[in-house]
A and B are shown apart, each in its own frame.
Chain A
Amino acid sequence: MSGQSFRIRDKGRIDRSKPVRFTFDGKSYEGFEGDTLASALIANGVHLIGRSFKYHRPRGILAAGSEEPNALIQLGGGNKSEPNLRATQIEIFDGLEAASQNRWPCLKFDVGAVNSVFHRLFPAGFYYKTFMWPASLWLKYEHVIRHAAGLGKAPPDRDPDRYEKVHAHADVLIVGGGPAGLAAALAAGKTGARVILADETADWGGSLLSESDCEIDGKEPARWVEESVAELEAMPEVTLVKRCTITGYYDHNYLTGLERVSDHLGAAPEHTPRQRLWKIRAKRVVLATGALERPLVFTDNDRPGVMLSSAVRTYVNRYGVLPGRKTVIFTNNDDAYRTALALEDAHGRVAAIVDVRTSVTGPLADAVRAKGITVYENHGIVSVQGTQKVTSVEVMQLDANGTGVTGTAKSVNCDLIAMSGGWNPTVHLFSQSKGKLTWDTEMAAFIPGTASQALASTGACNGTMGLADSLKEGLKLGAEAAREAGHKGRAPAAPKATEPEQGGLRPLWITPGKAKLGRKGKHFVDFQNDVTAADVQLAAREGYRSVEHLKRYTTTGMGTDQGKTSNVNALAILSDVLASDIPAVGTTTFRPPYTPATIGAYTGRNVGKLFEPVRKTRIDEWARANGAKFEHVGQWMRAWYFPKQGETFRQAIDREVKAVRDGCGILDASTLGKIDIQGPDAAEFLNRIYTNAWLKLGVGRCRYGLMLKEDGMVMDDGVTTCIGENHYHMTTTTGGAANVLSWLEEWHQTEWPDLKVFFSSVTEQWSVVAINGPKSRAVLQKLCEDVDFSAEAFPFMAMKEGTVAGIPARLYRISFTGELSFEINVPARYGLALWEALMEAGKEFDITPYGTETMHVLRAEKGFIIVGQETDGTVNPLDLGMDWIVSKKKPDFVGKRSLERESMASPDRKQLVGLLTEDPQTVLPEGGHVVEKLKPEPPMEMLGHVTSSYYSPNCGRSIAMALIKGGHARHGQTLHVPLEDKVVKVTVTEPRFFDLEGERIDG
């Protein structure tokens, strides 16, 4: 093929000095910079671009913009590959690799096209009717269907590209850079308002770039665009964003835009994002999104070479390519006559104009006739010849009401059909904003009605179709929006604009064929989903009368184009069957995004190391350097255990657990939540929040507390210490810290604002090292001269201030292990120094660093609960056997009244028990179900589940805790834990396993 033989010599905005080479389905082609893939393929005479979804019919290019339903492309290779891109939006660059989709083994011969031969088997709702029964076979069907259907292919691996997000604020956001949008931006910008103007294409001007028959202030439209853009660029508060599709219009004027920053460059420069997601909050929005041309619904209107009339004009004038050498125009309005004139101007022949209107007059018709072009009034196309490219059409006269044809068919040779069924204002964003649409009878289209957000629509998207009117309206609404956003200024005078005058249209929703609808050939409504007029009628007859049901049953309006070209035609046909008005039938809901968006753009840079914040303590680096294994606890990264060379997990844990009980171990407990509480009413506040009594806690004393939700269920626990007069230091669970602080604030602000108390988070202020075990006192004494560590002077549940290893510290004698234990708090910067000093001082006592796993085993040996492990929001203190911490004397505390309900003490509730396995070496899996009556296979009645389970080297056997229905009365019973490969027999016990008398606490 001689390259670019369909290029028009003297038209188009492409840069002929910059040839670009690209491949399509492996074959190399040439285009120019400024071409889209679609225009470059047309320049090379390529019209067969893809196969349709259901029937695998050959498809070409229908449109020139983002509404394209057919020409879907898989772009690039490997991990950069992206499916379902519209050839009409892809800007070509050197080395671009494009491939057609939905064809096998190749585009010209496709096995799936056999579906088309058996099309009677694929009526509306085909999948629902055929594959939903029997249900057991669905998985088999699905496998085959998914292989045969589907559009592009997902890339196989991690996306290597960079994606960005940006927050933007505007006084006025203008969507669409066509005549109305540019006018609105000029008017708003002149007031000094902060304006963002976004357009989804690579060029400013919108429809103006496609026209050669109009003038603005005596200038070519493209010239006016250039001057306007230059003026806007000179305004410091105006931001112009090209290649940015405003994809969503959400509440309170929040809009998202997807900017394709470097897609058109091939390879992005280093650190430059591929795409950028704009999150825009605008005081006012001006929608200038234009209008989309409607296809006509006629026999075999999907053949390659059938194109929207306005798209033909765009290819000719904007890209300088000829989509056909001999064109038949098929229309119901005057606009298509402009296309005829543009084609003639570009030396493309127009074979005939077929117009469904009975009588066509006016300047455009006159101009066309003057060129000698035949106009068939009151005619329709009744057949299209050529499967991979149009070769000819047959036209016939319409009958009196347009539902049938009369006379004889006339054959007209052509290689292009340019069709126009009128215009649909692009009301998608308006509708997403919850605005109400109204039906415009003259245009036969939905236009914006009542807005429900601070927005205005202008130009074609508002049904304002004339150029002069659009410019005037854009200027007016742009200035108005700026004023409403608080800026002063008037709309500049509107420029003088001229364009061919147009008459009205004749809405004819189905062009009748030679045979009954659906019998011979197909009248496509939705090209992407292969939905025909007959499908829509069948669905309506079968009772799918709601437009939303019609959509789901026939799939019309679904897919990557969301029915941009098909929706109004579909519901017009539906309303016809229902003998109802179109506005009464209504539209389906317009949902974001307007065009498909990459998941990458929504993810942005929240990938890899920035996927989720990882919180670390100041001692983390020591643990890392000393071979610790880590686990995630919420966002925290905590040392899990410290294996020595060659140790298994179990060996390491056994060693650590024994070491604590026999000598001493240290744990980094810095992650515990810490809240500083001050004020004369602090004690009263604690008394209301915790279940136990707090009014008489002396300075330097600690107390364990349990917090309930108002429903009586356990929420959090921890030790709170009185560190001074009216001054408390609360600790919370690691995961509960933020929740507890919010909880305290909420109760204080919303229920007890009269209480004088303040809360501040101090979690990371302190590094906390817990030293546990009978030798811990001896280690500490080596490092601390100013504290008397004797059991009498420093009793359990006391706090002292002192100096440890030269560091000012608070020492809390509290214990989560049942051993003699101190939690040493130092300013965080000294955490590592403290840890290292303790390790050094503890050498002679074989001090052992341990992690969260050993902490869990030790506390489980003692039967201490962990909130979130033994509890799940449905567990009350009585269930846990913790009646001892619930005050009977206090008149009220949060959760008290709920706890007093009879059912809360019901013996049938799930209660915390211990479980001992028959074989002491068997360690139950946490989460294992506990049953009383074994059956050969599930389902079995479940009594509860294992909440904690470990091997306890100190007990010499496995231990477990479980929440079991009526558990407190079951001590001594034998129950079963059925597992995948065996059943474990267990005996119910108290949930305590070691040091039952609590003799070890003083060391």
Chain B
Amino acid sequence: MADLETLTTRTALDPMDIVIGGPSDAGVTLTEIPFQTRLVLRGLPSDKKFTAAVKGALGVEPPSKPGTVTSSKTARVLWTAPNEWMVYSDDTGLAATLTKAVAGLHAAVTEVTEHYTLIRLSGRHARDVMIKGCAIDLHPREFGPGQCVQSHLGRITVLFDQTDETPSYHILVRASFAEYLWMYLEDAGLEFGVRIEAAG
């Protein structure tokens, strides 16, 4: 039997044969971050056992404030609904760890690593690109690092958060819409110059 490591894996954007590179002074850079562990965590924030169990597994409680992100060494946890969070992590075994931690509680963990891919949009014109297709107010007074939002971007729905002041946005997109979003962002960035970077 083949070893999992030797099998062909394809990211959502692999079929596009994206060429890494572009001008060094580009206004925006684009990167696909394909296989980071992504989990949908469900539970009741009012349930102390639940939040404690999550903290035990992730090192941080899930944020209770809408549209915010909490982080630990292990994971970043994005608020997506009053009883739902998106967990990002590099730990490929986190689904099992977290499932075990919340066992017996009214909670659920669903692995969605492959259901989505993540596109990072970064650069001095990243905000200018975002507001072409997103009606959320991304002005620094209203939105910054540690905040996340689910909304429309172009013709699709995404979850994104800002990770630094550059600004950089991590845009989570359903895998089947990734090609559209990539083309959309690349096209939107043309007037500012676009560089494609590899993940890592």
Which residues of chain B (178-200) have a CB below 8 Å from chain A? Answer: 179-180, 183-184, 187-188, 190-191
Tell me whether A260 is interfacial, beta carbon within 8 Å.
no
User: Measured between C-beta atoms, what is the minimum distance from B85 to chain A in Å?
Assistant: 11
CA distance A830 to B3 in the complex (A): 12
Encode contact with A along B90-130: 1 for CB under 8 Å, 0 otherwise. Answer: 00000000000000001010111111100000000000000
- Name the contact of B110 in the complex, choosing from A605, A762, A764, A837 (C-beta under 8 A): A762
Tell me whether B88 is interfacial, beta carbon within 8 Å.
no
Chain A residues near B15 (CB-CB < 8 A): 616, 620-621
CA distance A268 to B177 in the complex (A): 31
Q: Is the interface of A mostly helix, strand, loop or mixed?
A: mixed
- Name the contact of B113 in the complex, choosing from A617, A785, A827, A833 (C-beta under 8 A): A827
B42 adjacent to A760 (CB under 8 Å): yes
A758 adjacent to B108 (CB under 8 Å): yes
B8 adjacent to A764 (CB under 8 Å): no
- Name the contact of A764 in the complex, choosing from B108, B132, B139, B176 (C-beta under 8 A): B176
A615 adjacent to B112 (CB under 8 Å): no
| A167-B134, A836-B8 known; A605+B114 contact, CB < 8 A | no
Chain B residues near A765 (CB-CB < 8 A): 111-115
Which residues of chain A (599-622) have a CB below 8 Å from chain B? Answer: 605-606, 609-610, 612-618, 620-621
Tell me whether B7 is interfacial, beta carbon within 8 Å.
yes
User: Measured between C-beta atoms, what is the minimum distance from B57 to chain A in Å?
Assistant: 17
B131 adjacent to A803 (CB under 8 Å): no
B113 adjacent to A803 (CB under 8 Å): no
Chain A residues near B114 (CB-CB < 8 A): 764-766, 827-829
B10 adjacent to A618 (CB under 8 Å): yes
Which chain B residue has the least Cβ–Cβ distance from A272?
B191
Which chain B residue has the least Cβ–Cβ distance from A606?
B155
| A765-B113, A827-B113 known; A758+B135 contact, CB < 8 A | no
Tell me whether B20 is interfacial, beta carbon within 8 Å.
no
Give the contact stretch, choosing among A75-83, A674-682, A937-945: A674-682
- Name the contact of B8 in the complex, choosing from A615, A620, A808, A832 (C-beta under 8 A): A832
- Name the contact of A165 in the complex, choosing from B40, B108, B132 (C-beta under 8 A): B132
B135 adjacent to A279 (CB under 8 Å): yes
Tell me whether A658 is interfacial, beta carbon within 8 Å.
no
Chain B residues near A827 (CB-CB < 8 A): 113-114
Tell me whether A164 is interfacial, beta carbon within 8 Å.
yes
Chain A residues near B8 (CB-CB < 8 A): 830, 832-833, 836
B187 adjacent to A764 (CB under 8 Å): no
CA distance A268 to B18 in the complex (A): 28
Tell me whether A253 is interfacial, beta carbon within 8 Å.
no
Tell me whether B26 is interfacial, beta carbon within 8 Å.
no
CA distance A169 to B137 in the complex (A): 6
User: Measured between C-beta atoms, what is the minimum distance from B175 to chain A in Å?
Assistant: 4
Tell me whether B4 is interfacial, beta carbon within 8 Å.
yes
| A167-B135, A764-B115 known; A610+B187 contact, CB < 8 A | yes
Chain A residues near B156 (CB-CB < 8 A): 613
| A166-B131, A615-B176, A636-B176 known; A760+B155 contact, CB < 8 A | no
Tell me whether B174 is interfacial, beta carbon within 8 Å.
yes
| A279-B135, A610-B154, A615-B176 known; A271+B1 contact, CB < 8 A | no
CA distance A827 to B84 in the complex (A): 22
Which chain B residue has the least Cβ–Cβ distance from A165?
B132
A610 adjacent to B180 (CB under 8 Å): yes
| A165-B132, A785-B1, A827-B114 known; A806+B7 contact, CB < 8 A | yes
A829 adjacent to B135 (CB under 8 Å): no
Chain B residues near A829 (CB-CB < 8 A): 9-11, 34-35, 114
Chain A residues near B42 (CB-CB < 8 A): 678, 758, 760
CA distance A758 to B39 in the complex (A): 14
CA distance A680 to B34 in the complex (A): 33
In this complex, how many residues of chain A approach chain B with their Cβ under 8 Å: the count is 54
User: Measured between C-beta atoms, what is the minimum distance from B53 to chain A in Å?
Assistant: 15
Q: A605, A621, A679 — which one has the most chain B CB atoms within 10 A of its CB?
A: A605
Tell me whether A807 is interfacial, beta carbon within 8 Å.
yes
Tell me whether B144 is interfacial, beta carbon within 8 Å.
no
Encode contact with B along A611-635: 1 for CB under 8 Å, 0 otherwise. Answer: 0111111101100000000000000
Chain A residues near B184 (CB-CB < 8 A): 605, 610
Which chain A residue has the least Cβ–Cβ distance from B137?
A169
Tell me whether A411 is interfacial, beta carbon within 8 Å.
no
A616 adjacent to B188 (CB under 8 Å): no
Encode contact with B along A147-185: 1 for CB under 8 Å, 0 otherwise. Answer: 000000000000000001111110000000000000000
- Name the contact of B106 in the complex, choosing from A167, A756, A761 (C-beta under 8 A): A756
| A610-B184, A610-B187, A758-B42 known; A806+B2 contact, CB < 8 A | yes
Chain B residues near A828 (CB-CB < 8 A): 12, 114-115, 175
Which chain B residue has the least Cβ–Cβ distance from A806?
B2
Chain B residues near A281 (CB-CB < 8 A): 135, 137
- Name the contact of B191 in the complex, choosing from A194, A271, A676, A680 (C-beta under 8 A): A271
A614 adjacent to B135 (CB under 8 Å): no
Tell me whether B145 is interfacial, beta carbon within 8 Å.
no
B110 adjacent to A760 (CB under 8 Å): yes
A762 adjacent to B115 (CB under 8 Å): yes
User: Measured between C-beta atoms, what is the minimum distance from B145 to chain A in Å?
Assistant: 19
B110 adjacent to A621 (CB under 8 Å): no
Tell me whether B133 is interfacial, beta carbon within 8 Å.
yes
| A679-B108, A833-B8, A833-B9 known; A617+B115 contact, CB < 8 A | no
Encode contact with B along A779-819: 1 for CB under 8 Å, 0 otherwise. Answer: 00000010000000000000000010111100000000000
A679 adjacent to B3 (CB under 8 Å): no
Tell me whether A831 is interfacial, beta carbon within 8 Å.
yes
A168 adjacent to B175 (CB under 8 Å): no
Tell me whether A763 is interfacial, beta carbon within 8 Å.
yes
Which chain B residue has the least Cβ–Cβ distance from A756?
B106
A676 adjacent to B110 (CB under 8 Å): yes
A803 adjacent to B1 (CB under 8 Å): yes
Chain A residues near B188 (CB-CB < 8 A): 605
CA distance A678 to B180 in the complex (A): 31
Chain B residues near A279 (CB-CB < 8 A): 135
Which chain B residue has the least Cβ–Cβ distance from A803?
B1
Which residues of chain A (181-200) have a CB below 8 Å from chain B? Answer: 194
User: Measured between C-beta atoms, what is the minimum distance from A724 to chain B in Å?
Assistant: 10
CA distance A100 to B137 in the complex (A): 44
User: Measured between C-beta atoms, what is the minimum distance from B58 to chain A in Å?
Assistant: 18
Encode contact with B along A824-853: 1 for CB under 8 Å, 0 otherwise. Answer: 000111111100110000000000000000
Which chain A residue has the least Cβ–Cβ distance from B193?
A271
Q: B135, B175, B188 — which one has the most chain A CB atoms within 10 A of its CB?
A: B175
| A612-B155, A617-B176, A806-B7 known; A168+B2 contact, CB < 8 A | no
User: Measured between C-beta atoms, what is the minimum distance from A728 to chain B in Å?
Assistant: 11
CA distance A855 to B146 in the complex (A): 47
Which residues of chain A (292-309) have a CB below 8 Å from chain B? Answer: none
Which chain A residue has the least Cβ–Cβ distance from B8?
A833
Chain B residues near A760 (CB-CB < 8 A): 40, 42, 108, 110, 112
CA distance A980 to B122 in the complex (A): 59
A610 adjacent to B2 (CB under 8 Å): no
CA distance A17 to B134 in the complex (A): 43
User: Measured between C-beta atoms, what is the minimum distance from A670 to chain B in Å?
Assistant: 9
CA distance A618 to B175 in the complex (A): 9
Chain A residues near B154 (CB-CB < 8 A): 606, 610, 613
Which B residues are within 8 Å of any A CB, using their own CB? Answer: 1-4, 7-12, 14-15, 34-35, 40, 42, 83-84, 106, 108, 110-116, 131-137, 139, 141-142, 154-156, 174-177, 179-180, 183-184, 187-188, 190-191
What are 28 residue pairs bridging A and B, where the CB atoms are less than 8 Å apart in the complex?
A164-B132, A165-B132, A166-B132, A167-B134, A167-B136, A169-B139, A194-B139, A605-B184, A609-B183, A610-B154, A612-B155, A614-B180, A618-B12, A620-B15, A676-B108, A678-B110, A679-B108, A680-B106, A758-B83, A758-B108, A760-B108, A764-B12, A764-B175, A805-B1, A805-B2, A827-B114, A828-B114, A833-B7
Q: Assuming A680-B106, A756-B106, A836-B8, what are 4 further A-B pairs, CB within 8 angstroms?
A: A620-B15, A679-B106, A758-B108, A760-B40
5 nearest A-B residue pairs (beta carbon) = A806-B2, A615-B176, A613-B180, A828-B114, A678-B108
